[in-house]
């Protein structure tokens, strides 16, 4: 094996952390998922041996990183050759000198995970507006303030400067941004809807809900189809955590239709519901309401993607 690209050591105050968490805290722009995948690929060694993401680090442990972990950034150059076209990735809902609000399509990753990935939304944003490239702390994000999973479509924000990115990021962290989703789920949701509660904890690739009674939002019934055993719900979220809608709905016994990671046993048939371009599952970030970080004006937007899906 070649020489490692990075050597990391564990200090006394960092002892007993999970390896994936330790790496994500130490390397700017590296998520726990990135660290886990690098471990699974054999690219991270702990004291000379291949490491597992759940191993606990100890004082004076030496980590060797044999990959480009942490060196990946948004790639606007992908759109220079003519092989990829910005109009296939960028649909602007709102734009001013400070930020962009985009309508993301299904099947597109928000950010780059490895250099070999196909173009992402962040790559397209960097090509569309170069100022976004240096706005966020993570160089892969090109100013993105939040992320949406690959199959998830809908509204997503990007900043054009570091100052605006920090302000919007803080607003999300303080739960001052109202987010609404439409989700197609297994089972017949009661007309009274669902109360979402509990704390989300990271467990490998998925999130687990811990019953703490803490309010996490609600899911209101839009329509249900008894013959197909599916429901469309409008979900309001309190927090902005990874997989929040997917995990909470599955915890309530109504996973997203086709979301195998969270226990769905059904394959999502896009053509059955008239949803063009969807894959895996249907989740739409349909509405976003927040205060403009510069003007102080309260803004509310709805997606242009019509979510009135109906079974044939």
pLDDT, tens digit (0-9, with 9 covering 90-100), for 4-25: 556 777 777 778 889 888 888 7
Q: Tens digit of pLDDT for each residue in 110-127?
A: 988 666 778 999 999 999
Q: What is the mean pLDDT of residues 143-155?
A: 92
Closest by CA position to 161, among listed 185, 177, 142, 182: 142
Instruction: Give pLDDT, residue 3.
Output: 57
Task: Provide φ and ψ at 45, rounded to 5°.
Answer: -115, 140
Q: What percent of the chain has pLDDT over 70?
A: 89
- In Å, how far from its chain's centre is CA 296? 27
Q: Domain boundaries in the chain?
A: 6-65, 76-173, 178-302
Answer whether 65's CB lies under 8 Å from 4's CB: yes
Q: What is the mean pLDDT of residues 279-305?
A: 91
Instruction: Give pLDDT, residue 292.
Output: 97
Instruction: Give pLDDT, residue 278.
Output: 61
Instruction: Give pLDDT, residue 14.
Output: 78
Class of domain 178-302: alpha beta
Question: DSSP label at 30?
Answer: -
Q: What is the mean pLDDT of residues 251-270?
A: 88
Instruction: Give pLDDT, residue 23.
Output: 84
Greatest CA separation for the chain: 62
Do 76-173 and 178-302 come out as alike in CATH topology? yes
- In the predicted model, what is the mean pLDDT of the chain? 86
Answer whether 158's CB lies under 8 Å from 144's CB: yes
CATH superfamily of 6-65: RNA-binding S4 domain (3.10.290.10)
CATH classification for the domain delimited by 76-173, as one of 3.40.50.1220, 3.30.2350.10, 2.40.50.140, 3.40.50.170:
3.30.2350.10
Instruction: Give pLDDT, residue 99.
Output: 97
């Amino acid at each position: 094996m070649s020489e490692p690209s990075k050597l990391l050591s564990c200090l006394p105050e960092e002892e007993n952390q999970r390896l994936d968490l330790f790496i994500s805290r130490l390397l700017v722009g590296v998520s726990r998922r990135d660290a886990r995948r690098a471990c699974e690929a054999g690219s991270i060694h702990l004291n000379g041996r291949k490491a597992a993401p759940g191993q606990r680090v100890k004082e004076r442990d030496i980590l060797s990183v044999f990959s480009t972990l942490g060196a990946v950034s948004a790639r606007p150059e992908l759109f220079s050759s003519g092989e990829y076209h910005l109009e296939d990735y960028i649909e602007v809902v709102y734009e001013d000198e400070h930020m962009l609000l985009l309508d993301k399509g299904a099947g597109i990753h928000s950010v780059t995970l490895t250099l070999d990935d196909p173009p992402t939304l962040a790559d397209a944003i960097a090509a569309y507006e170069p100022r976004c490239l240096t706005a966020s702390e993570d160089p892969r994000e090109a100013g993105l303030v939040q992320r949406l999973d690959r199959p998830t479509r809908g509204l997503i924000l990007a900043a054009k400067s570091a100052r605006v990115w920090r302000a919007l990021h803080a607003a999300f962290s303080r739960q001052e941004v109202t987010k609404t989703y439409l989700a197609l789920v297994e089972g017949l949701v009661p007309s009274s809807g669902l109360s979402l509660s509990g704390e989300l904890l990271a467990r490998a690739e998925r999130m687990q809900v811990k019953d703490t009674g803490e309010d996490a939002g609600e899911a209101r019934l839009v329509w249900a189809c008894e013959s197909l055993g599916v429901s469309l719900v409008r979900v309001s979220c309190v927090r902005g955590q990874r997989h929040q809608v997917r995990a909470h709905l599955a915890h309530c016994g109504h996973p997203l239709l086709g979301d195998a990671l969270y226990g769905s046993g059904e394959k999502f048939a896009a053509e059955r519901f008239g949803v063009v371009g969807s894959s895996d599952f249907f989740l739409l970030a349909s509405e976003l309401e927040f205060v403009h970080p510069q003007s102080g004006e309260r803004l509310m937007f709805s997606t242009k993607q019509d979510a009135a899906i109906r079974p044939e």
